[in-house]
Structure formats: structure tokens, C-alpha cells
Structure 1
Amino acid sequence: MQDLALALYQYFIYPILTLILFALFAYVIMSWLFTFNILSPYGQIARQIYSMLESVLEPLLRPIRNTIPPLGQLDLSVFILALLILFTRDWLFPQLLFAMPG
């Protein structure tokens, strides 16, 4: 049973959490590029990519935003989500896997 759980973690859960983390970084970078007018928010391809990232990440960010409101212009929900993903991926799941009986 531990071998199955380890395989699921290594080949399914870990890559998905890593992909979500990279999507989160792309979402933040694109929002900065839009904010500083480096990337035009009216460009069709950029808007489609940003909308796709937003549709994937907003359901994860919304509960955090409801719990911890933005501090002025600073939105901590992205930072907290990144920390939660890293904590879950790198500490919680390995601890649970190695705590499983043989």
C-alpha cells in the first residue's frame, strides 16, 4: 500500500502541485506586465492566456482572499497559496507517506 501511495505522489500529485505553482508564478508575472504596460491587456493571445490562468487559479485564491483581505494594494493570497502548495508538496505528503504502515 505504501508503494502505491508513493507512486501516486511521485507521478501524479507532485507534478500537479508543481504545475499549479508554475501557473501561479505565470499569473503573477503576467499581472505585473499588464500593470506596468509592458504587455498590452488588449492583445488577444495575452488576454486568453491570462484568462485561462485566472480561471484555474481563482477558485484556489478566492477562499484565501475571503479569509485574509488585501492590505491596501497588496494581495497576500498568491503568496499564501504558494506557501501552502510548497508546504503540502514538500513536507506534508512525504510525512504522511512515511507514516503509513509498511
Structure 2
Amino acid sequence: MTEPDSSRSRPQGAYDVFLSFRGEDTRKTFTDHLYTALVQAGIHTFRDDDELPRGKEISDHLLEAIQESKISIVVFSKGYASSRWCLDELVEIVKCKYRKTRT
């Protein structure tokens, strides 16, 4: 899916919204619909894709996307809390929120 012109003019990595979700639970259903609606509304949204490198730790690319996003939307699903990857994202989201409220 292409991004709206308003999103392309922003610096790379500066997102309005970061979506955190467990892919196997909601990628093809709720999260896909949410992402599409946000993008169609001109909201620059980060959603990981299947091509991001997976590892034992959260990638620098994801950390940067979380840190540079204005807000995060966490899509809790049945298996969200059983995913180490999702929990690592959630920890970083909470840390960023804490830092932003302290400044």
C-alpha cells in the first residue's frame, strides 16, 4: 500500500502512530483494517511487516519507530502477552510515554 503524499514529505521514521500487535492474531483482520483506515485518513502509521528481521531482541528499527512516533496504539489480543516480541515493544512504549511526561 502506498502512503499519502502528506506522509511521504515527513522525515523518514517520524510517525504519527506506531501499531503494536501480535501478527498471527490480528494482522489479516482488525489490524489490517485499522492500518488501512489510518493511512486513508492521511495518518503516517508504522506497522511492521513480515520482512523485518526477527531476532531475540527488539530491532533498532522498531525501537526508533516507537521513539519517534507521536502515539502508539496497542492492539491487545488473546496471544499478545505470550509474545516476547510484543512485550518488548510494550515496555519501550511505556518507557517513551514516561520520558515524554517527565519533560
Q: What's the TM-score, normalizing by structure 2?
A: 0.29
Rg (Cα) greater in structure: 1
Q: What's the TM-score, normalizing by structure 1?
A: 0.29
- The structure with the greater share of residues assigned to strand is 2
- The structure with the greater share of residues assigned to helix is 1
